[in-house]
Amino acid sequence: MPPTSVPPPAVPPVAVPPTPAVRLDRVSKRYAAGQDTYAVREVELDIAQGEFFSLLGPSGCGKTTLLRMIGGFTDPTGGSVLLDGQDVTGLPPDQRNVNTVFQSYALFEHLSLADNVAFGLKRKGVPRAEIRTRVADMLDLVQLAHLAGRRPATLSGGQKQRVALARALVNRPQVLLLDEPLAALDLKLRRHMQVELKQIQREIGITFVFVTHDQDEALTMSDRIAVMNDGRVEQCGTPEDVYERPATTFTASFMGTSNLVPGTYRDGRVTLDDGPELPVGHRASVPDGSRVNLSIRPEKIWLSDLEPGMARAAGIVRETVYSGPTTTYLIELAPGVTVSVLEQNTDRSRMEDRWSGGERVEIGWKPEHCLVLD
C-alpha cells in the first residue's frame, strides 16, 4: 500500500502594506534656481488612506507650499508627489483626483447654494439626474439642504465654509486639501466647526490634508500631525506624541506652552544655571556634560500635596494670573529662570488660598513628566 502523502504546511500570506493616499518622496521647493533658499526642503511623508492629517507650523514654515505641491498648484524643484501610488508630480491640478478648500471659500455670489455645489459636476458633464442626487446628498451631509436656493451673501461664515466643503466633496476626490479654512471664523464658531469637520471626515472616510498654524485646532482634529519649521518636518506623530513627547525644542515650544529650562545634563540629572539639580527620571540620549533644555508642561507641575518621589524645587511667586477655570503662577527658580504652573480652579479653590507675589513656594513634578531636549 503506497505511503500516504503529507500535504506541505500552509504558508501564511504575506501582509502587503496598504498604498498611502499621499506619498511625498524627498519633495523640495526652492525660491529660485541656483539659490540655497528653500520654502520646503526634502520632505518625506506618507499619509494613509482615510486619515485626517494636519500640516502645522508658524507662518513661512512651508506648510501651504507643501499643500500646493500636493494639489498641483506649485511644481516642486526636487522629489516626487504620489497619489494612491501614482506619480503625479508633472500633472496639472485638473488631472489629479484632489480638491481644495481655501480660506477665502471662493463661492460664486450670483449662484444659489445648490448651483455652487453642482458647478464642478456640470463642467464634467455629469448627467442632470445624478447631479441633483449628489448635490442633495451633499447639502444634506453639511446640514444645508433647507437653504439650497439661497445665495452666498445671505449666509453666515460657518454656512459658507460648509458650502465650500460640499462643493469640494461632491466631486468625490481621493484627497481633500484644506488650506486654513476656519481661520476667518470667530473663536466660538471655529471650535464648533472643528468638531463638525472631523465628524464629516469620519462619515465620508476620505483623506483630509489640513493646513493650520493653530496648535489647538491640530490637536483637536488630527489623526496625525506633521510639525513644520523652516521648510522641514520637525516631528510627525499622533497628537499625543507631539504634545507629550516632543522630539525637539522647537516642537516643545510650539505645541502649546512648555517650560524650557536651560541647564547641564549629567547622569540622569540636570543642573540649572545658578540653580538646583533636578532628576529627570530617565537616561537621556545626550552625553554627560551636554547643554540641554529641560521641558516640563505647566499642567504637570504641582504646587500643593506633593507626593514622595517627585522632583522638587523651591522658588518665589512672581506673578499670579487668574483666567476663570485656571490660575497660572509664574515662579522664579533661579535668576533669569522662571517657570509657569497651571492649576485648575476647582470648587475647593478659594481666592484666599492662592499664592501671592513674593511668596516662597515648593513645586514638584513626576520625573517621567520632564524631557531632556538637546
What is the enclosing helix (H) or strand (E) of 116? helix 113-123
Task: Label residue 240 by pLDDT band (50, 70, 90).
Answer: very high
Each residue of 48-57: pLDDT tens digit? Answer: 999 999 999 9
Query: Domain 259-373, what fold?
Result: OB fold (Dihydrolipoamide Acetyltransferase, E2P) (2.40.50)
Task: Label residue 331 by pLDDT band (50, 70, 90).
Answer: very high
Contacts of range 27-31, beta carbons closer than 8 Å, 24 or more positions apart: 27/66, 27/69, 27/76, 27/78, 27/79, 27/80, 27/81, 28/76, 28/77, 28/78, 28/79, 29/62, 29/65, 29/66, 29/69, 29/74, 29/76, 29/77, 29/78, 29/231, 30/77, 30/78
Q: Are 59 and 252 in contact (CB under 8 A)?
A: no
d(CA 48, CA 44): 13
Q: Are 163 and 99 in contact (CB under 8 A)?
A: no
Under CATH, which number does the domain 22-244 receive?
A: 3.40.50.300
Domain with CATH 3.40.50.300 in the chain: 22-244
pLDDT value of residue 7: 67
pLDDT greater than 60 at residue 159:
yes
pLDDT greater than 90 at residue 66:
yes
Each residue of 265-279: pLDDT tens digit? Answer: 888 888 887 777 887
Each residue of 285-317: pLDDT tens digit? Answer: 888 888 988 889 999 999 878 888 888 888 899
Domain with CATH 2.40.50.100 in the chain: 259-373
Query: 188 CB contacts (<8 Å, ≥6 apart)?
Result: none
d(CA 82, CA 329): 49
pLDDT greater than 70 at residue 13:
no
Q: What is the mean pLDDT of residues 122-126?
A: 87
Output the pTM of the full model: 0.85
Task: Label residue 187 by pLDDT band (50, 70, 90).
Answer: confident
